[in-house]
């Protein structure tokens, strides 16, 4: 039954298509391919025929080609091969020769054939069902030989997979030939290679060849071939390669590289004429539909070679492609030899591309050394070279961003006369730009490098002769790449009134005129001390140098570039550009001294001096950090700039060459033992090649702790006891607190679920002992039973412990003789105990309105006093009263609050 239905459908389809043939004019025939020629699973028996009659199952693809070449006028070849499977692999026995106007549409094969509808980077939904398989051809034969050179008739081929050909998938000579929506070098699924032994598409002596197009349906997958993906050999003009995946599978996410170049233009065997061709051809009105994705190939992504001496057909362009990445431009799928290679090229324009993730150089251009053939007037504009598609993240090439070799003259890497032509050249594993000349061969000169963003590369931003920094010489008399143009020296970058004024000088050829100076800022310093050019700021022109070869410049740019690293380049009127000059340089140093201090509580003065004594330039945006630790800040005085004690930052500002600035900090010693304090230079707008003198430390050794009655340390308080607590002999809750190292009291029975303030105070007092408590009756506890870091289930005890620790650790302030809290005197365990004890014995103190806070202690003090009083004070009068108690729930709330804000 199923077979009968298939046969019935086959007959209906065939009758319909043959009816088209019958009604066609002699000049526009539709030829239906209805048999694979030797089908493995035929629906009807294959009959020999020549496609001239409406006999079912008698027209193979090869017979259809023969008929089309015999017919006058344009023909359409469509497909109607029906069987149990919609997909067919047509094993041809001879090359498919096309000599006149013809359209071959593989998408006419019934059932599931569908051209792609999804723009990149979306996944293609194309379904191809017709494959031309050349595995039966003789060695050296191509699957398609298309030669319309004499007639110039248009040819359109779409919807085919073409693979397993001994030589090229397509060999094209002629004009007006379009290849769209096909897979060349893969199986029908577009993900498995069916390699052609030569190039995917080979074009020679041709013009107006169109491979791909701006629409999603036009996209070809040209991958998996042994040779190049596409080869334009000799005299190929006015042709476009648009919207293709070349070296990727149909998803655009997986490499399926060709064994040669992705796209190759020119064979270098002899001078060739290749002009007016476009690879990519820029954005279209469909967005980026014309963009090619050229990645994963064994040689270069794009290779161009030829002596192109005329621009009669316009520049050869590689425009708006992704070269070396996946379809999203975020993952490297490298072309092994590099992104774009140009050899003996003239008028070759590389613009608007993403060239990243390749193994070799991003762009590599050179000339024919043996024959002294130069490469001229090539332009590299508005590309991202070494970044991802956003231009922000690293996806570097394995070599330099751009490499110009021998014979490269009068070429452009960015051009100030073209708005927006600057490139981003960043994150490459080699140098940013290399201009190399082998003097034994021939010159490399007049190469202009302007308005680019060059940063984050491994090595110099620009290197003339590829030998590291080329130092300036007298009168710029040396020779080499770009005439080894001397670089400018940036001498100052001063911010005022919303603008930064950058000044400097250039020494070069005496009396020479029209030097363009470009200035740049960098977020980080290059380790060589010679800058890159992360952000182009602006330019000026030195009209003429004096008789000694000297000139000065000044550039005013909007904004504050304090803390940035400023550098510059010079471009001679002959258009050769220098390396980046040295970053604005100031060798800063810092020294520190202190007055003597011997014990906790002593006052101490630190004196910090920062100097720019070694120069050679002014130093801007200087910043020094000195954050006190073990000392309590009192005051500071700076000879210039401002000091913020909470952060320890001294913003010095600008230090002119030969000047210095001084900061004094007054403080009190708040700890004991061996103390130290360090001042470090943390920022400057200039490169500092000597960082050994950027830090200075003073040491205060053997600081003794200050004792109080009973021998307990105070941690920096006055040591004077509060009224009513000198002897600590009062009875509290029936227990005696003796004047000795440790108390021997016991816990009195407490109310169920509550802890009294008396017991809380006793816990705190007992904790301050440094010796084992006196013998205690069984079942009684002191703070030594609750060591720091223990785990306690009793919320009241836990609250008491945490509160006490917190009070000491956060540096609660106090001045004990008058019972108030004052700045600069941290409270430690014993003093916190005395405060609470004093309040219990009728000397209640209202802490809230009288204490002064330092910024660093604000949170701790406010919590300890205000929150604790709030929990315990039942009458809400901001006093601690003898009758106040704290419940289990309140104590737990206190604990939870502390642990959340100040985890211990």
Confidence category of residue 91, pLDDT binned at 50, 70, 90: very high
pLDDT at position 898 is 46
pLDDT at 275 over 80: no
Query: Looking at the predicted structure, is the pLDDT value of residue 842 above 50?
Result: no
Cβ neighbours for 177, distance < 8 A, ≥ 6 positions apart: 146, 148, 154, 155, 156, 206, 208, 209, 210
Q: What is the pLDDT of residue 630?
A: 86
In angstroms, what CA-CA distances link 446 with 287, 378, 434, 487? 36, 12, 14, 15
**728-740 tens-digit pLDDT:** 222 222 222 222 2
CA dist., res. 586 & res. 525, Å (int): 13
Sign of the dihedral defined by the CA atoms of residues 816, 821, 827, 831, in that order: positive
Report which of 585, 549, 541, 551 is spatially closest to residue 567, judged by C-alpha positions: 585
Output the six-digit token pair for 452: 């680019």
Residue 806 is predicted with a pLDDT of: 44
CA dihedral 876, 877, 881, 884 (to 10 degrees): 0
Strand partners, 239: none
Rounded to an integer, the average pLDDT of 460-466 is 96
Instruction: Identify the weakest region by mean pLDDT among 170-179, 698-707, 769-778.
Output: 769-778
Q: Tell me what pLDDT residue 692 has.
A: 82
Helix (H) / strand (E) element for 490: namely: strand 489-496
Label residue 789 by pLDDT band (50, 70, 90).
very low
Q: Where are the alpha helices (H) located in 60-164, listed in sequence order?
A: 61-70
If pLDDT is split at 50, 70 and 90, which confidence band does 370 have?
A: low
Secondary structure class of 64 (helix, strand, coil): helix
Looking at per-residue pLDDT, the higher value among 257 and 84 belongs to 257
Q: Return the closest-CA partner of residue 693 out of 704, 706, 684.
A: 684
Q: How many residues in total does the chain contain?
A: 904
Judged against a pLDDT cut of 90, whether residue 291 lies above it is answered with yes
Q: How far apart are CA 866 and CA 863, in angstroms?
A: 6
- Is residue 285 exposed (0-12), middle (13-18) or buried (19+ Cβ within 10 Å)? exposed
CB-count exposure of residue 509 (10 Å: 0-12, 13-18, 19+): middle
Q: Of all helices (H) and strands (E), which one includes residue 85? A: none
Chain-centroid distance, C-alpha 312 = 41
Helix 795-809 vs helix 888-901: crossing angle, to nearest 10:
40
Reduced to 3 states (helix: H, G, I; strand: E, B; else coil), residue 700 is strand
Give the mean pLDDT of 249-260.
97
**Tokens read off for 431:** 């140098």
Among 44-58, 452-466, 722-736, 813-827, the range with the most confident prediction by mean pLDDT is 452-466
- Residue 758's φ and ψ, nearest 5 degrees, are -60, -50
- Per the model's pLDDT, the better-predicted residue between 861 and 156 turns out to be 156
* DSSP annotation of 545: -
**Mean pLDDT confidence for 321-347:** 94
Q: Is the pLDDT of residue 693 over 60?
A: yes
Contact, 385 vs 356, CB < 8 A? Answer: yes
- What pLDDT does residue 486 have? 97
Asked if residue 460 lies in contact with residue 580, where contact means CB atoms within 8 angstroms, the answer is yes
Confidence of residue 228 (pLDDT cuts 50, 70, 90): very high
Residue with tokens 């005696």: 736
Whole-number percent of the chain with pLDDT over 70: 67
Q: Hey, what domains does the chain have and what are their CATH numbers?
A: 589-703 (2.60.40.740), 731-901 (no CATH)
User: What average pLDDT does range 411-422 have in this prediction?
Assistant: 94
pLDDT-based confidence at 673, cuts 50/70/90? confident
* Alpha-helical runs (H) found in 632-705: none
User: Which of the pair, 40 or 363, is modelled with greater confidence?
Assistant: 363
For the cut 50, the answer to whether the pLDDT of residue 43 exceeds it is no
Higher pLDDT, 363 or 526: 363
- The count of other CB atoms within 10 Å of the CB of residue 766 is 21
pLDDT for res 278:
79
DSSP state, residue 486? P
Name beta bridge partners: 619.
655
């Amino acid at each position: 039954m199923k077979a009968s239905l298939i046969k019935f459908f086959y007959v209906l389809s065939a009758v319909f298509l043959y009816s088209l043939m019958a009604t066609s004019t002699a000049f526009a025939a539709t030829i239906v391919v209805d048999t694979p020629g030797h089908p493995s699973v035929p629906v009807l028996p294959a009959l020999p025929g020549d496609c001239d009659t409406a006999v079912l199952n008698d027209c193979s693809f090869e017979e259809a080609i023969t008929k089309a070449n015999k017919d006058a006028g344009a023909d359409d070849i469509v497909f109607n091969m029906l069987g149990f499977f919609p997909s067919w692999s047509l094993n041809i026995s001879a090359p498919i020769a096309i000599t006149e106007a013809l359209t071959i549409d593989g998408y006419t094969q019934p059932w599931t054939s569908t051209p792609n509808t999804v723009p990149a980077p979306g996944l293609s939904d194309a379904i191809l069902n017709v494959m031309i398989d050349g595995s039966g051809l003789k060695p050296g034969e191509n699957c398609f030989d298309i030669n319309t050179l004499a007639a110039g008739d248009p040819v359109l081929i779409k919807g085919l997979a073409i693979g397993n050909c001994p030589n090229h998938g397509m060999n094209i000579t002629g004009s007006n030939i379009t290849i769209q929506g096909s897979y060349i070098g893969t199986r029908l699924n577009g993900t498995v290679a069916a390699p052609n032994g030569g190039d995917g598409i080979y074009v020679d002596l041709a013009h107006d060849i169109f491979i791909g197009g701006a629409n999603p349906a036009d996209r070809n997958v040209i991958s998996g071939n042994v040779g190049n993906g596409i080869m334009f050999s000799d005299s190929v003009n006015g042709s476009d390669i648009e919207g293709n995946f070349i070296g990727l599978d149909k998803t655009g996410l997986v490499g399926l590289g060709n064994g040669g170049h992705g796209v190759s233009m020119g064979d270098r065997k002899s001078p060739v004429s290749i002009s007016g061709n476009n690879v990519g051809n820029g954005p279209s009105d469909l967005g980026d539909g014309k963009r090619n994705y050229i990645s994963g190939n064994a040689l270069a992504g794009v290779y161009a070679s030829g002596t192109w001496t005329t621009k009669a057909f316009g520049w050869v362009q590689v425009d708006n492609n992704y070269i070396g990445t996946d379809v999203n431009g975020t993952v490297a799928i490298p072309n092994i030899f590099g992104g774009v290679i140009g050899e003996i090229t003239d008028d070759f324009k590389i613009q608007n591309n993403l060239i990243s993730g390749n193994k070799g150089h991003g762009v590599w251009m050179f000339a024919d050394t043996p024959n002294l053939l130069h490469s001229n007037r090539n332009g590299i504009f508005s590309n991202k070279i070494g970044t991802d598609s956003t231009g922000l993240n690293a996806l570097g090439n394995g070599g330099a961003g751009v490499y110009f070799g021998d014979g490269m003259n009068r070429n452009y890497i960015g051009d100030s006369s073209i708005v927006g032509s600057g490139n981003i050249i960043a994150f490459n594993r080699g140098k940013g730009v290399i201009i190399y000349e082998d003097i034994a061969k021939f010159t490399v000169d007049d190469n202009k490098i302007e308005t680019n963003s060059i940063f984050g590369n491994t090595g110099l931003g620009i290197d003339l002769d590829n030998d590291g920094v080329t130092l300036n010489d007298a009168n710029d008399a040396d020779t080499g790449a770009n005439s080894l143009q001397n670089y400018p020296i940036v001498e100052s970058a001063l911010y005022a009134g919303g603008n930064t004024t950058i000044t400097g000088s250039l020494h070069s050829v005496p009396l020479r005129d029209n030097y363009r100076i470009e200035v740049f800022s960098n977020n980080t310093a290059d380790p060589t001390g010679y800058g890159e050019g992360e952000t182009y700021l602006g330019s000026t022109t030195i009209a003429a140098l004096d008789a000694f070869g000297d000139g000065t410049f000044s550039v005013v740019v909007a904004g504050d570039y304090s803390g940035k690293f400023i550098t510059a380049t010079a471009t001679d009127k002959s258009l050769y550009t220098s390396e980046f000059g040295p970053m604005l340089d100031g060798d800063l140093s810092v020294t520190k001294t202190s007055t003597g201090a011997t014990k906790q509580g002593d006052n101490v003065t630190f004196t910090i001096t920062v100097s720019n004594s070694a120069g050679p330039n002014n130093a801007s945006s200087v910043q020094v950090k000195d954050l006190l630790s073990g000392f309590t800040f009192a005051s500071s005085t700076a000879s210039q700039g401002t000091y913020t004690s909470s952060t320890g930052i001294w913003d010095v500002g600008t230090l002119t060459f030969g000047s210095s600035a001084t900061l004094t900090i007054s403080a009190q010693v708040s700890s004991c033992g061996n103390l130290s304090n360090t001042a470090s230079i943390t920022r400057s707008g200039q490169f500092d090649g000597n960082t050994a003198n950027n830090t200075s430390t003073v040491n205060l050794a053997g600081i003794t702790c200050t004792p109080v009655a009973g021998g307990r340390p105070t941690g920096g308080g006055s040591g004077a006891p509060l009224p009513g607590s000198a002897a600590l002999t009062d009875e509290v809750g029936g227990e005696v607190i003796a004047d000795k190292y440790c108390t021997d009291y016991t816990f009195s029975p407490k109310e169920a679920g509550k802890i009294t303030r008396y017991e809380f105070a006793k816990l705190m007092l007992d904790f301050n002992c440094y010796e084992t408590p006196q013998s205690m009756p069984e079942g009684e506890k002191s703070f030594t039973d609750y060591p720091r870091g223990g785990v306690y289930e009793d919320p009241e005890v836990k609250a008491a412990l945490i509160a006490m620790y917190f009070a000491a650790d956060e540096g609660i302030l106090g001045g004990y003789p008058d019972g108030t809290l004052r700045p600069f005197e941290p409270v430690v365990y014993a003093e916190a105990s005395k405060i609470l004890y004093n309040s219990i014995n009728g000397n209640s103190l209202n802490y809230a309105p009288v204490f002064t806070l330092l910024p660093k202690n604000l949170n701790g003090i406010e919590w300890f006093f205000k929150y604790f009083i709030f929990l315990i004070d039942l009458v809400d009068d901001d006093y601690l009263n003898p009758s106040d108690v704290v419940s289990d729930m309140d104590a737990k709330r206190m604990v939870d609050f502390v642990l959340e804000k100040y985890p211990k």
